[in-house]
């Protein structure tokens, strides 16, 4: 694989270093803030070509890994932080993360194994065939090598600030895509580093994790509901630019969020129409909507469960549980309250 060497300026003293991964998700966006302290936002996975790309990108702006004083991490998915331990060791950089992320990083790989077990239980409970579940488990085990446990050195809370010589970043917790999604927001210059919270094109999938509490007692984490809440909070920031973890910069984040919310509403209505035909499992709903790649099945299944949560909350769908059978969802005309947009 050829290392990506390009470093592109995307804001004042902020450079995008798109780095390769060993997976078909393609490049991950690493950002270098050329300020004091010199800072990386995310690192990409533990992979030789990724490290080479970061080294080349820093050389292009007259810096090196040894110059780094801080690493900021946006969330727990290993394509964004797997290389952190290696870079911190070479630079003595401070590893700065939102507080709930620290124990997850320190316990790796036990932490990801626990999340994978949760995902497998969701697949089992919602009608996913055994062979498909086995393929997902194999895929998940196959990526764990791309990270090493990390000891965080500074813990952040929602609303904290991360100071630099020439800027300040405000911390915003935005759980949903993962339990630890974090925005780093330059309020003065009206942009944020967003990780996988928001993309210009593809939807950011809500991914279940053990940091998301099952508040409704339904048997699955309400990742989608948390993601919707986070999206609305981000919309209220009214920024001019979002710097995502994959893909191009987003130059009109408010419009992208509005389009995403409208798209979700259309998908929710489609799910309601499917259930009007007959009761279905979440997997049957998913299969009717698309032909999901098995390796990412727990992501769109979680999204479908989120759509179903909205319909259950509106009294339009009820949950059917029977012994030794997957959970099913049944359309009902009963409504507990007026329907609301997602």
Does residue 117 belong to any structural domain of this protein? Answer: yes
3-29: per-residue pLDDT in tens?
Answer: 445 899 999 999 999 999 999 889 999
Burial class of residue 338 in the structure, from the number of CB atoms within 10 Å of its CB (0-12 exposed, 13-18 middle, 19+ buried): exposed
Does residue 313 belong to any structural domain of this protein? Answer: yes
40-75: per-residue pLDDT in tens?
Answer: 999 999 999 999 999 999 999 999 999 999 999 999
87-129: per-residue pLDDT in tens?
Answer: 999 999 999 999 999 999 999 999 999 999 999 999 999 999 9
Q: For residue 166, what are the domain limits?
A: 8-331
What's the number of domains the chain is made of? 1
pLDDT at 3: 43
Does residue 340 belong to any structural domain of this protein? Answer: no
Does residue 153 belong to any structural domain of this protein? Answer: yes
Q: Classify residue 133 as left (phi > 0), alpha (psi -120 to 50) or beta.
A: alpha
Does residue 320 belong to any structural domain of this protein? Answer: yes
Instruction: Go through 209-226 and write b for each residue having 16 or more CB atoms within 10 A of its CB, e for each that does not.
Output: bebbeeeeeeebbbbbbb
Does residue 3 belong to any structural domain of this protein? Answer: no
259-277: per-residue pLDDT in tens?
Answer: 999 999 999 999 999 999 9
pLDDT at 291: 57
Using an 8 Å Cβ cutoff, are 290 and 299 in contact? no
pTM: 0.93
pLDDT at 2: 43
Domain harbouring 15, CATH code: 3.60.15.10
Does residue 237 belong to any structural domain of this protein? Answer: yes
pLDDT at 338: 45
232-249: per-residue pLDDT in tens?
Answer: 999 999 999 999 999 999
181-226: per-residue pLDDT in tens?
Answer: 999 999 999 999 999 999 998 889 998 888 778 888 899 999 999 9
Does residue 336 belong to any structural domain of this protein? Answer: no
């Amino acid at each position: 694989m050829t290392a990506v060497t390009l470093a592109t300026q995307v804001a004042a003293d902020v450079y995008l270093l798109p780095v390769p991964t060993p997976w078909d998700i393609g490049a991950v966006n690493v950002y270098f803030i050329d300020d004091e302290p010199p800072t990386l936002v995310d690192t990409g996975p533990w992979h030789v070509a990724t490290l080479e790309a970061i080294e080349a990108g820093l050389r292009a702006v007259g810096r090196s890994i040894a110059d780094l004083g801080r690493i900021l991490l946006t969330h727990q998915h290993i394509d964004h932080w797997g290389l952190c331990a290696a870079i911190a060791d070479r630079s003595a950089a401070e590893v700065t993360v939102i507080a709930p992320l620290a124990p997850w990083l320190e316990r790796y790989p036990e932490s990801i194994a626990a999340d994978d077990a949760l995902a497998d239980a969701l697949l089992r409970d919602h009608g996913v065939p055994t062979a498909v579940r086995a393929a997902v488990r194999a895929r998940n085990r196959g990526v764990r090598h791309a990270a090493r446990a990390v000891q965080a050195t500074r813990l952040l809370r929602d609303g904290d600030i991360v100071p630099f010589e020439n800027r300040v970043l405000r911390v915003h917790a935005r759980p949903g895509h993962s339990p630890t999604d974090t925005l780093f927001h330059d309020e003065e210059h009206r942009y944020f580093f967003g990780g996988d919270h928001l993309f210009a094109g593809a939807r950011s999938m809500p991914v279940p994790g053990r940091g998301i509490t099952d508040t409704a007692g339904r048997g699955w984490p309400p990742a989608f509901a948390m993601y919707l809440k986070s999206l609305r909070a981000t919309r209220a920031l009214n920024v001019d630019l979002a710097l995502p973890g994959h893909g191009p910069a987003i130059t009109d984040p408010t419009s992208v969020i509005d389009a995403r919310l409208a798209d979700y509403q259309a998908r929710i209505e489609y799910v309601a129409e499917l259930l009007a035909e007959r009761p279905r499992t979440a997997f049957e709903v998913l299969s009717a909507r698309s032909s999901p790649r098995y390796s990412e099945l727990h992501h769109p299944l979680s999204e479908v469960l989120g759509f179903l949560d909205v319909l259950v909350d509106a009294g339009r769908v009820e949950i059917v549980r029977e012994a030794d059978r997957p959970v099913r969802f049944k359309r009902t005309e009963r409504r507990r309250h007026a329907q609301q947009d997602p």
